[in-house]
Structure 1
């Protein structure tokens, strides 16, 4: 549920950033967020992977949008520094 809510929030942030940059996102743009629960000894931890999938969009533009969206998304802000997050922009 956490990943689903984060994905919806991040998706809105991507839309806002794209609009600010005057970038039209491809119709098949998608956000894929995977959150893992891990264990080290007796301690549990979370880690996440965020993929902005924007087929056909310029790689540098997609990367910039992905990272700027991460800066304004409330869920991303809430976990920053607390869990490991890998962010990717996939354009192919």
Structure 2
């Protein structure tokens, strides 16, 4: 494991588990949590998979932008670029639950080969990608 010295730390707490509340220490996030209907819940609140998908997609798009500052041969990320993260949760064959992620990038004006190269460069930089690599299935697709 490569040690890091954080330049920023976020802190959030949850009460009640999947049927509770999540808040950040600065109170910028204060969400009702509930399991999705597919998992027996009401689906009326946010769930952890939605939060993970939101964070991963935003971070991944930022990583692609940062990659272009390191490698000038990469195409610039267009202003209307969009990354969508689809996070799936389901039972594992051994025990408990597991996740899988599909990242899809819409990069208007960039040909497929260059868009794929840009996605792979972002994947090498993104801390979410580092955290998930070798732990869960993550697929990258150009939309």
| RMSD over aligned Cα atoms | 1.5
| Alpha-carbon separation, structure 2, partners of 1:18 and 1:5 | 20
Unaligned runs of 5+ in 2: 1-50
Task: State the TM-score, normalized to the length of structure 1.
Answer: 0.86
Q: Which runs of 4+ in 1 moved over 4 A?
A: none
1:5-84 correspondence runs (5 A) = 5-19=55-69, 20-21=71-72, 23-41=75-93, 42-84=95-137
Q: Which structure has the greater CA radius of gyration?
A: 2
Q: How many residues align?
A: 90
In terms of fraction of residues, the more strand-rich structure is 1
Alpha-carbon offset, residue 85 of structure 1: 0.6
In terms of fraction of residues, the more helix-rich structure is 1
| Alpha-carbon separation, structure 1, partners of 2:102 and 2:72 | 24
Unaligned runs of 5+ in 1: none
Quick one: higher RCO (CA 8 Å, sep 6+), 1 or 2?
Answer: 1
